[in-house]
Structure 1
Amino acid sequence: MSAPVLLVIAHGSRDPRHAATVHALVREAGSLRPGLRVETAFLDFNLPSVPGVLDRLAAEGVRDVVALPLLLTRAFHAKADIPAVLRQAPAGLRIRQAEVLGPSPLLVAAVQRRLFEAGLTPADAGSTGV
Structure 2
Amino acid sequence: MGAPAAGPPLLIVAHGSRDPRHAATVHALAGRVAAARPGLRVETSFLDFNAPSVPQAVRRLASDGVRDVVALPLLLTRAFHAKSDIPAVLREATAQLPALRVRTAQVLGPSPLLTAALERRLREAGLTAADRAATG
- TM-score, scaled to structure 2: 0.83
Q: Given the alignment, which residue of 93, 106, 111 partners 1:99?
A: 106
Q: Offset of 1:111 from its aligned partner?
A: 3.1
Query: 2:43 maps to what in 1?
Result: 39
**Is the counterpart of residue 87 in structure 1 residue 96 in structure 2?**
no
**Is the counterpart of residue 25 in structure 1 residue 34 in structure 2?**
no
Q: Given the alignment, which residue of 103, 111, 118 partners 2:127?
A: 118
Secondary structure class of the residue paired with 2:57: helix
Distance 1:83 1:24, change over 3 A: same
Q: Offset of 1:18 from its aligned partner?
A: 0.6
Q: Offset of 1:31 from its aligned partner?
A: 0.7
Q: CA RMSD in A?
A: 2.0
Greater CA deviation, 104-113 or 73-82?
Answer: 104-113
Secondary structure class of the residue paired with 1:121: helix
Distance 1:109 1:47, change over 3 A: same
Query: 1:5 maps to what in 2?
Result: 9
Q: Counterparts of 1:109 and 1:25 in 2: how far apart (Å)?
A: 20
Aligned length: 126
Q: Offset of 1:121 from its aligned partner?
A: 1.8
Q: Given the alignment, which residue of 54, 61, 74 partners 1:57?
A: 61
Contiguous gaps of at least 5 residues in structure 2: none
Cα deviation, 1:44-80, whole Å, max 9, x if unaligned, reads 1000110001111112221000001111111111111
Greater CA deviation, 83-92 or 40-49?
Answer: 83-92
